[in-house]
Every structure is written in structure tokens, then in C-alpha cells.
Structure 1
Amino acid sequence: MAVEGTTGSELVSIVALLGAAVVMVPIFRRLGLGSVLGYLCAGLLIGPFGLRWFTDPQAILHVAELGVVMFLFVIGLEMRPSHLWGLRREIFGLGTLQIGVCTAVLTGVAMLLGLPPRTAFIGAAGFVLTSTAIVMQLLSERGDIALPRGQKIVSILLFEDLLIVPLLALVAFLSPLPHDDGGGRWVGVAIAVAALAGLVAAGIWLLNPLFRLLAAAKAREVMTAAALLVVLGAALLMEIGGLSMAMGAFLAGVLLSESTFRHQLEADIEPFRGLLLGLFFLAVGMALDLAVVAANWPLIASGVVAMMVAKGVCIYAVARITRSGRGEALDRAVLMAQGGEFAFVLFAAAQMAGVIDSPANANLTAIVVLSMALTPLVVLLVRRFVRTEAKLSMDGIDAAEGLGGSVLIIGFGRFGQVMSQALLARDVDVTIIDTDIEMIRSAGEFGFKVYYGDGRRLDVLHASGAGTARALAVCIDDRAAANQIAELCHGHFPQAKVLVRAFDREHALELVALDVDYQIRETFESAVRFGQAALEALGVDADEAARVSEEMRRLDAERFSLEVAAGDIRAGRPLIIGNTAPATPTPFTTPRRESQRLDASTGGDAAGEGGT
């Protein structure tokens, strides 16, 4: 709305929205019920069927959908094209199987509830479209999005978002109302294809040059405005083409996932995403028509239970058929057993097309809204009473917050424990973070102070003191996570040297491409020394065995340098490869410092050999 049109009553409405969220969400989180259920109950309380502070939840819902749009943009930033291609079997294979089975079964369930076949099919198709907002929020709160089980759920959600387009076309086909001979449909298809092609072209050829130009201007607020422009512009373009706004934003994120500005974009979008997503949940709570529920409670109550149970059973069966474990299958079934926000779009379009009537729309909408509201509670109950493994307590474990030190060690397994000893022996100020609760507790018994923190999160790195550290040592045994952390560290903490444990030779090359200051393959040095000991056990002179080992290091370093040169990595910049350099350095292996030790008294640089 325009500023001059803002009235006192509108300001009261804004204050009411914010106040309801500020009061209800902390209460529900304190009770262990999660923020989503808090938002939904707050919306129900202040909506047209509660205190009646708001009478038009659909208007708020339309604006709040931008929260879902921004959420998918952020997810797209993490989905590089190669990674997305790697998920193609989950997106199209697993997604198709789950949706097909669920649609067939839910249509039968809806018919058993007394709905006509056409209405039953529309209701089932809408209920199959899981709530992306709720599931992604729950996965985010649990930190499961980047895990394999989380990636499968994300893949299915993406396919469901794509499905709204053919479903809307099917609604038009089923419509008993008179329509044109098909020419208008082909025009719509052409517009959709043109919009999609335009977005891809802009992402490939325009977005990165635009952000480079804006970054050179060094105006933070302009970068934020540009980030919002990209998200909203992509959503608008897809809406004009008759496609999903959320999918447009997701595609824009994917196109920018290889950009050096992606972490900055994520940081700029995050506040708006969180606020609008909360507003979306508030609007969903307001949309629950209690009068409809009261008038048709037998149908709605039985419909919610029957549809959620049937969908959950189908999802569990599909997960087990595709060889997921019992725990993973149950978790996916519980998380995805509800209907979603796209069901509202589908039901409204079906009513306008004459496929379903107004009472059916109201009843189906109530069933979907109640299923969305019940999901966080069902997830909580299942995780509490059907737990397959003991819950790890955080008692006595401190989260990373307000820390600082000369060196930040990320990961304190066997590798991190060994490498830390040299630093601690010189009284270097070290901060250590990890996500393994049992390891943190065990390390505390031996006098090590390890904080809980996920190094893949930029806010955790800041809280751990990465902004003031002189060296950042990534010692985790997760290859993908190590790359992600290395990229974050290199892009946001230029004052620090970045040292990373490499899994193997291929991973070492990836780390060089990420421009880390130092990397070492985790088993290389131990294997070389093991071979040296084997020679000595066979009677070879100790000096000769040491010379052979040194020659192995030199030859390996030369081969590695040639591989780097062949890949045109670092454009000829000096490189430390983590193993002893050749006697005569090549242009790609010139040592960058005389000492590889961190000397706290003289302010030396951080580097050195690792290996367990």
C-alpha cells in the first residue's frame, strides 16, 4: 500500500500481526511444539473466525506466498546444476512413483467418504501436493535439509511444485463450461515456454554481470535491492507465463548457485524470507473457516484423519520399496502426510471451472488447512513415542556464541585431535567446534573444550570467531561439507588462512580450485611413513628408506602440480599442495612461506602436515 494511504487502523493491523507472532511463537517453541504450529494458532486466534482482527485472510495469503518463493530461492542457491542433475532420479523417479500411488489411493479414500468421482480426484490431487513451506521449515529447524534423507524430500517437493502446472491444465480439460477450440491453450503454452526461456537466458548472461557491477559500486543497500529484484522478478515472470512463482524463484537460485555472490544473496534474502514465511503461516491459520468445520465436522474430521493416514502409509510403502530404512521411511511419511498451499490454488481453479462446487471447495480447503496445522504436532508425537534411537541431550554442552581465537578448528575427530596438539603445545589460542554431541562430551572428559556448531552455517562461523581468526582449519571427514565450509571461509574471512583436510586426490584438486591456502590428503603422509617402516623392516638402511620416502613425496607433488596445471586451476598462482614440495619448485608449487608451523610468539603463518 502507498505510504499516504496508510491509516491508523492499518497500522494497528500490522502491529497485531507482529504481536501475535512475537507472543505465540516463543510460547510454542518453549513447549517444544515448534514455530510453525505457533504461527498457525496465532493466525487462527486473530483471524476472521477468532478475534476477527482480520477479515480477508486470502489477501494476506497472497502476499505471504512470497515467503515460500524466497524460501525456494535460497534452496536453489544451494542446488548447483550438477547437484540438481545428480538428484534427477529422486526428482522424477521417486517423485513420480510417490505422487502416482498417493493420488490413486487418496482418490479411492475420498470416494469412500462420499465425494463424487470428479470431486474426489481433485481433492486427492490437491492433498498430494505437500506443503513445501511447512516441510522445509521443519527440515530447516532440524538441520536435515543438506542430509541425504532431506535431499530426497526436497526432490519430491520440487517435483510436486512442477506438478501444479499440468494439474491446472487438467482442470481446464475437465471443465464442463464452454471453452475455445484449443488455440488459447497453445498460446498459453507458448507464453510459458517463452517465460521459462527468458528466465534461463537472463540467469546465464545478465545476472552475474549485474551483480559484479553493483558490487563494484560498494552500496550494500543496492545489492539487497538487486537480490529482491531477482527473486520477485523471476516469480513475476513465471506467474505471467502461467507457471509457479516458487519454481521461478527456485530456478533463479539454481542459475546463481555458481556465482561468487551466492552467499551474499542468501544473507540479503534471509530476513525477508523468514518474516514473509511467518506471515504465510499466520495467513493459513486465518484461512481455517470454523463455521464450515462446525457445519460439516463429521466429513472434515474423518477426511483429515483418513487422508493423512492413507497418504502417510503410501509414502512409507514407496520409501521402503525404494530401499529406504524404516526410520527414514517413517520420518518422510509423517513429514509429508499433509496437504499444501498449492491445493488452495487448485481448488479455487476447479471451482471457477465448474469442476467442483463452492461447498466442496470449502470442505476440501478445511481438510487441507487442518492437516497442515496438525503436521507439526504429529511429527512431535511420532518422534517422541516412536523413536528408534536415544535422544542425545545437550546438557553441559555449550553452543558456539561470541567466541574468538587465533585458530578456529572445525571438526574434532581423529584428524582434528592430532593436528590440534602442535597448536596447543605452543599455547596457541584455539577454538574448536563440532556437531557430534557424544564426541564433544568425551573430549570434555579429557580436558578439551569443544563447542557445538555447524561449520556449514555462516552465522555459526561468525559466532565462533572466524571473523578475527588468523587460521581456519577444516578437519571434518565429510567431503561435500568440507568444500562448502572452505568456500564460505574463503569468501567471508579473507584475513584468515584456510587449511582443509582432503579426502583423496580428486578432493584435493577440488580444494585447490576453491583457492584454499593449504590442503592435505588425510592418509597420504601416514601411508608414506608406513611404507618407509616396511622398508626398514626388510633390512633397508634407515637413511635410504627416508630418501625413498622423500622421493615419493617429490614425485607425487610434481604429478599433482601437473594435474593442477592441466585443469588450469588458480591461473598460475603459487600453490601449497600439502605434501613435501619438489626440490625444484614448478610455477604451480612454489612454497608461499619458509615455515609451515604456526609460531604464536613470532606471528608465523598457519600450515603444516596433517594425517592421522
Structure 2
Amino acid sequence: MHGAELSSTMSDALVILGATGIVIPLFARFRVTPIIGFILVGLLVGPFGLGRLVDEVPSLYYVSISDPEALEPFAEFGIILLLFTIGLELSFKRLWQLRKLVFGLGALEVLVAGGLIAAALWAMGQYWTGALALGLALAFSSTALVLPISGTTTPVGRAALSMLLFEDIMIVPIIFLLGALGPTAGEDGVGGLVTVLWQGALVVAVMMVAGRYLLPYLFGQAARTKSPELFLAASLLVVIGASLATALVGLSPIVGALVAGLLIAETEYHSEVEGIIEPFKGLALGVFLMTVGMSIDLAVVWANLPAVILAVLCVLSLKAVVTGFLLRIMGARRSTAIETGILMASPSETTLIILAAASAALLIDRETAQFWQIVTAVGLTVTPLLAGLGKVVARRVEPAPALDPLDADADEPRAIIIGLGRVGKLVAQMLRVHDKPYVAIDFDPDLVERARHEGYHAVFGNALRNDALDKLGIARAPAVILTMDEHVLAGRLTRKLRAAWPDLPIIARARDSAHAAELYRSGATTAVPETLESSLQLSEAALVDLGVAMGPVIASIHEKRDEFRAKIREGGEMTYTPKLRTGAVDS
């Protein structure tokens, strides 16, 4: 690397780290989201900000970035890491449960919103192929901004995730479609798409089969070294390798990253991988947001201010109305539909990619592409503001179930059930049978409303927030029962509860014995593996039907249960290390 290139790289690194370490905490101090902070920093230090003055004031070279394209690989890596961590929070089972939303709601959102935008642009004089390209581009929403804001476990987060997953899947077919529509398109437009699809499906299938066998071994070996550096290297190897594998056959690299995350989520190392990747994801996403800010030329925006404002408002309004309407048709609450619609209204970082492809295919001219790039950048900038607006409007239209006065000031200590699914309701029924007071909390307003209608003592709230649990009297609660089926969330909540209330009995539902051992290490008092309990119930039924007296059967079942729990606890302690998990626990 030449001296000039090295100097440029070092000055860019200085600007990025300076923004991360100095400017962003300053925004946080004034309660401004870091998302807006990074975009504004990019606007300030980019080629249309301080970078424009470098020729007049050479010293500004060291606090500005004149070549945003040099940062694009890092920005893309941030999006890849984001999709990877989303995969870690999901599971194949949960992804399968979302299939109707992904291919139903997701497909309708892209087709309806994209079609209406294209029709409007065509009516304004844009040729139909260019209008179609712009409509599809603007129909996309930002994965990099929306999911960190909404999460993936709330009703809004689930709806947003389903639409964003479909959009990620559709990137490649849309790029091929635009190439086929362009006047410079080759003969292999459709044939090339078919090739990419079958090769991509083959690569994903190989990754899923190989990953189930290789990943536990890889991370097991890394964990046994007790070296965080090696564990980090293994994590990055999997992310980059999976992304390259899908990119080599023409699919988006984020598809490979998502599959890699899903595979690791099925292993006992997912929590460690998530924690060790998190700082890199945050920094890389910060670089991406800075590149968005750098793409905004305030001079061009000012010269076209009325048109830019009108275009932004029209796109945001149309997408919000379409998304909210589709969600209502599919049965979502009014508050969920409104909040999701407003949050998903802004364009996406993928919009910029599709605009570039449309311009390269000569479907739109350069000036048109530049105008809509500015509209996209402005839309990305206001996404956090849209999230806040969506919450305010949703609460006014349909207030969420609130904690009753009884819940906030209950004198009698009550067990707290976290989760109102099938298991949570059964636990509540058994507590009620034995006259044990309880209160159940869930973040899904639909579940809370149904449970209240069925007579359960249920309240709406986010159990990850200590203030919600304080209002329920957790300081005096005889026990907390975790009933959710999401093992990542269960582990995170167990650690949080144990850190805040060291003496609180925590009874947690576990997927299997390995998950139970993980919950014990996180601080659970008792972890109940579903696989163990089903085996014990089956044994009990078999012994009774074979003529063994009920009393000895129950005694032996209790003895066997205690034996298994002791074994799980012992295995958890034997394999525990302060930073890394060193292997699976024997069942």
C-alpha cells in the first residue's frame, strides 16, 4: 500500500472512530438516536460537507472523508452481520411459522406498493419500464434500520421481519428482471435467473446439511481452547464463508449470513456468538449509516427542495397506508397495523442497489436516479422519527392494554408468569386450582386481550424492562415462571432477573437438557426440559397400564426426575467457563 493510500485509510479510520467514540455519545446524552447521529455525522464529514472544503482548507483532510466508496465494503459487512444476528435470534421452527406472513404479507406489500408507485410515475410521464423499476425499488424498506428499532419478538417486529425477509429474497429476481427489461439486456436474462436460483438452492441446501454437523464441532473445538480470539475468528469465518458461498452463485450475501445464523441458533453456542459479534455489528452498521449521510448533497436537495419533500411525503404516505391496510386485512390489530405501516414507510438501502441496476440497464436516466437516491437517503434519515410517530399514533388510535391499578399496588405477593402461550395458560390454571395468586405478563397485546377475555389475570408489558416487573411486585414475588418457547430470550431474561434479584426463585421452561443446563448456568433455580417431562409421563402411563400400583410409580417418577435434574446441574457446572461454553451437556 502506498503512503498516500495508507494516509487516506488512517484518516478515514480516525473519522469513523471519532464519530463512534465522541459524537455518538454526545447525541445519546441529548437522547437523540445513534441512527440519526451516524447519518448526520456522515453528512458533516462527507464529500458534500467538510470534504468539499479540503482544497481550501487542507487540514480538513484529516477530519473528513472524500471517498465514500472506499467505505462501502465495510457498510455491506455491517448489513451482513445484522442479518447474521437476526438468524441467531430465530430458529428454523419459528421461520417456518412465519412462512405465510413472508410469502403472503411480504409478497403483497412489494407487489401492491410497488405497483401503485409505478402506476403513479407512469401517469406522470415516466416510461413504463422505468416506472416499474422505480416502483419496485421504492417498495423496499430498510432491514438495517427497521429491525434494530422493532426487534423480532413483538407483533410489530414479527410483521416487519416477514416483509423484510421476502424483500431480501426478491433482490436477485428483481435485478434480473430489470436487466431483462433494459434495452442493453442480453439473451440469457431468464436463463441466468434460473441458473442462479437452482445453484443458490443447492448451495443453501449444502450449507444446511453440512452446518448441522460441522458447526457444533467447530465451535466446540474453539470453546475448548478458552480463547475468545479463536472463538471470534470461528464466528467471522462462518459468517464470511456463508456470505461468499451465496454471493458466488449470484444470490445476495445476506442470504448466506441469515442461513449461517439460523444454523448456529440450533447449537448451544448461539448466545456466545451473538455476544462476541455484537460490537462489530454495531460499528459496521455505523459505517453504513455514515455512507447514507455522505450521499446527501445539501446543495442539490436545496435546489430541488419542494420536489424532494413532495416525493418523500408521497412515498412515505402511500407505503404506510398500503402496509397498514394489508396488515388489517390479515387480522392484525389497528395499533399494530398503524405502527408497522408507518415504520415500514421509508425506502431501503436496497433501494439504492436497485436504482443503480435500473440506471445501468438504461431504464432511467442519470438525473432521475440521482433524484430518487436523494429521496431514499432522506427517507432513511427520518426512519427513527417514523418509528416514534408510529408509536404515538398507534397508542392514540388504540391504547395498548395497561397495567391495572390492582397490578401496580397489589398487597398480596403473587407468582409472576412471563408468557401467555399454551404453557403459560396451563401454569396459570394449575396455580388457580391450588389457590395460589399469580399475574401473567406478555408483550403481545392480542394474547393479553384473549387471555383476559378467558378469565386469566393477564397484563400487557415488556418483561425485559425492570419497571414493568417492579409494578407487578417482583420484589415480593414468591417465584417467577418463564414459559416462552424462545430459548435465546429465556436465557437473556434469566440472566437479567438473576442479576437484579439474586434471591428470586426462577422456574424456567427448557427445550431439552442442554438448554436446561444453559438456563441453570444463567441463574435459573429450576429448569424443566420438555423432552424429559414427556418421557417421564410416557413411562408413568406405561407402568400404570402394565399393572404397577400408582403410588410406587409416582415415587419412582419423582426419583428419576430428581436424578436427571441433578445430572443436568452437575453437567452445567462441569462445562461452565466465565466467557465460553466448552461443550454440550449430556442429557
TM-score in terms of structure 1 length: 0.70
Q: Are the counterparts in 1 of residues 146 and 343 from structure 2 also a CA contact under 8 Å? A: yes
- In structure 1, the residue matched to 2:386 is 378
**Alignment counterpart, residue 270 of structure 2, candidates 228, 247, 262:** 262
Q: Are the counterparts in 2 of residues 474 and 486 from structure 1 also a CA contact under 8 Å? A: no
| Aligned equivalents of 1:385, 1:594: Cα separation in 2 | 49
Worse overlay, 334-343 or 54-63: 54-63
Cα distance change, pair 308–189 in 1 and its aligned pair in 2 (3 A): same
- In structure 1, the residue matched to 2:117 is 106
Q: Are the counterparts in 2 of residues 467 and 493 from structure 1 also a CA contact under 8 Å? A: no
Q: Are the counterparts in 2 of residues 293 and 366 from structure 1 also a CA contact under 8 Å? A: yes
**Alignment counterpart, residue 470 of structure 2, candidates 440, 447, 469:** 440
Asked if residue 456 in structure 1 is aligned to residue 489 in structure 2, the reply is yes
Q: Are the counterparts in 2 of residues 127 and 339 from structure 1 also a CA contact under 8 Å? A: yes
Deviation at 1:362, TM superposition (A): 0.7
Q: Are the counterparts in 2 of residues 110 and 120 from structure 1 also a CA contact under 8 Å? A: yes
> What fraction of aligned residue pairs are identical, expressed as a percent?
28
Q: How does 1:342-381 map to 2 (within 5 A)?
A: 342-381=350-389
| Aligned equivalents of 1:369, 1:594: Cα separation in 2 | 55
Q: Which amino acid aligns with 1:233?
A: G
| Aligned equivalents of 1:146, 1:485: Cα separation in 2 | 22
Q: Are the counterparts in 2 of residues 119 and 360 from structure 1 also a CA contact under 8 Å? A: no
Asked if residue 129 in structure 1 is aligned to residue 128 in structure 2, the reply is no
Deviation at 1:487, TM superposition (A): 7.0
**For 1:9-43, what per-residue CA distance to the aligned partner results, in whole angstroms no more than 9, with x for missing partners?**
43232121222234443344444442211221111
Q: Which amino acid aligns with 1:91?
A: V
Asked if residue 474 in structure 1 is aligned to residue 507 in structure 2, the reply is yes
Asked if residue 180 in structure 1 is aligned to residue 187 in structure 2, the reply is yes
**For 1:125-178, what per-residue CA distance to the aligned partner results, in whole angstroms no more than 9, with x for missing partners?**
1111110011012114xxxx2123321211111011001111011011101015
| Aligned equivalents of 1:77, 1:265: Cα separation in 2 | 8
| Aligned equivalents of 1:314, 1:488: Cα separation in 2 | 41
Cα distance change, pair 9–196 in 1 and its aligned pair in 2 (3 A): same
Structure 2 gap ranges (5+): 52-63, 404-414, 439-462, 544-549, 567-587
Q: Which amino acid aligns with 1:156?
A: M
Deviation at 1:438, TM superposition (A): 5.4
**Alignment counterpart, residue 237 of structure 2, candidates 229, 232, 249:** 229
| Aligned equivalents of 1:447, 1:474: Cα separation in 2 | 16
Q: How does 1:145-164 map to 2 (within 5 A)?
A: 145-164=152-171
| Aligned equivalents of 2:389, 2:378: Cα separation in 1 | 17
| Aligned equivalents of 2:532, 2:44: Cα separation in 1 | 52
Deviation at 1:118, TM superposition (A): 2.1
Deviation at 1:594, TM superposition (A): 13
Q: How does 1:23-102 map to 2 (within 5 A)?
A: 23-52=22-51, 53-102=64-113
SS at match of 1:319: helix
**Alignment counterpart, residue 248 of structure 1, candidates 236, 248, 256:** 256
Q: How does 1:250-399 map to 2 (within 5 A)?
A: 250-384=258-392, 387-388=395-396, 389=399
Asked if residue 209 in structure 1 is aligned to residue 220 in structure 2, the reply is no
Q: Are the counterparts in 2 of residues 68 and 133 from structure 1 also a CA contact under 8 Å? A: yes
- In structure 1, the residue matched to 2:560 is 589
| Aligned equivalents of 2:278, 2:316: Cα separation in 1 | 32
**For 1:63-120, what per-residue CA distance to the aligned partner results, in whole angstroms no more than 9, with x for missing partners?**
2121111111111122221221111111111111222211111112333555332222
- In structure 1, the residue matched to 2:459 is none
Q: Are the counterparts in 1 of residues 143 and 164 from structure 2 also a CA contact under 8 Å? A: yes
Deviation at 1:369, TM superposition (A): 1.0
Structure 1 or 2, whichever has the larger Rg, is 1
| Aligned equivalents of 1:495, 1:332: Cα separation in 2 | 33
Cα distance change, pair 219–87 in 1 and its aligned pair in 2 (3 A): same
Q: Are the counterparts in 1 of residues 180 and 186 from structure 2 also a CA contact under 8 Å? A: no
| Aligned equivalents of 2:295, 2:464: Cα separation in 1 | 42
| Aligned equivalents of 1:594, 1:361: Cα separation in 2 | 63
SS at match of 1:589: helix
Q: Are the counterparts in 2 of residues 69 and 245 from structure 1 also a CA contact under 8 Å? A: yes
Q: Which amino acid aligns with 2:179?
A: A
| Aligned equivalents of 1:28, 1:495: Cα separation in 2 | 33
SS at match of 2:356: helix
Deviation at 1:270, TM superposition (A): 1.3
| Aligned equivalents of 1:223, 1:439: Cα separation in 2 | 35
Cα distance change, pair 233–447 in 1 and its aligned pair in 2 (3 A): closer
Deviation at 1:372, TM superposition (A): 0.9
Q: Are the counterparts in 1 of residues 268 and 514 from structure 2 also a CA contact under 8 Å? A: no
| Aligned equivalents of 1:39, 1:106: Cα separation in 2 | 29
Q: Are the counterparts in 2 of residues 509 and 564 from structure 1 also a CA contact under 8 Å? A: no
Cα distance change, pair 224–439 in 1 and its aligned pair in 2 (3 A): closer
Q: How does 1:509-548 map to 2 (within 5 A)?
A: 509-510=530-531, 512=533
Q: Which amino acid aligns with 1:99?
A: V
Q: Are the counterparts in 1 of residues 491 and 518 from structure 2 also a CA contact under 8 Å? A: no
| Aligned equivalents of 2:276, 2:50: Cα separation in 1 | 35
| Aligned equivalents of 2:373, 2:215: Cα separation in 1 | 39
Cα distance change, pair 59–181 in 1 and its aligned pair in 2 (3 A): same
Asked if residue 19 in structure 1 is aligned to residue 26 in structure 2, the reply is no
Q: Which amino acid aligns with 2:25?
A: P
| Aligned equivalents of 2:96, 2:400: Cα separation in 1 | 36
Deviation at 1:307, TM superposition (A): 0.9
Deviation at 1:391, TM superposition (A): 11
Q: Are the counterparts in 2 of residues 49 and 290 from structure 1 also a CA contact under 8 Å? A: yes
| Aligned equivalents of 1:271, 1:104: Cα separation in 2 | 39
SS at match of 2:506: strand
| Aligned equivalents of 1:10, 1:45: Cα separation in 2 | 18
Deviation at 1:447, TM superposition (A): 6.7
Worse overlay, 107-116 or 127-136: 107-116
Q: Are the counterparts in 1 of residues 182 and 361 from structure 2 also a CA contact under 8 Å? A: yes
- In structure 1, the residue matched to 2:526 is 499
- In structure 1, the residue matched to 2:129 is 118
| Aligned equivalents of 1:381, 1:497: Cα separation in 2 | 38
Q: Which amino acid aligns with 2:95?
A: L
Deviation at 1:434, TM superposition (A): 6.6
Q: Which amino acid aligns with 1:153?
A: A
Worse overlay, 18-27 or 306-315: 18-27
Q: Are the counterparts in 1 of residues 511 and 531 from structure 2 also a CA contact under 8 Å? A: no
Worse overlay, 320-329 or 200-209: 200-209
Q: Are the counterparts in 1 of residues 81 and 239 from structure 2 also a CA contact under 8 Å? A: yes
Q: Are the counterparts in 1 of residues 246 and 252 from structure 2 also a CA contact under 8 Å? A: yes
Q: Are the counterparts in 1 of residues 27 and 33 from structure 2 also a CA contact under 8 Å? A: yes
Structure 1 gap ranges (5+): 394-407, 421-432, 476-481, 503-507, 514-556, 566-578, 596-612
Q: Are the counterparts in 2 of residues 193 and 241 from structure 1 also a CA contact under 8 Å? A: no
Cα distance change, pair 587–30 in 1 and its aligned pair in 2 (3 A): closer
TM-score in terms of structure 2 length: 0.73
Q: Which amino acid aligns with 2:158?
A: Q
Q: Are the counterparts in 2 of residues 61 and 284 from structure 1 also a CA contact under 8 Å? A: no
- In structure 1, the residue matched to 2:580 is none
| Aligned equivalents of 1:235, 1:383: Cα separation in 2 | 35
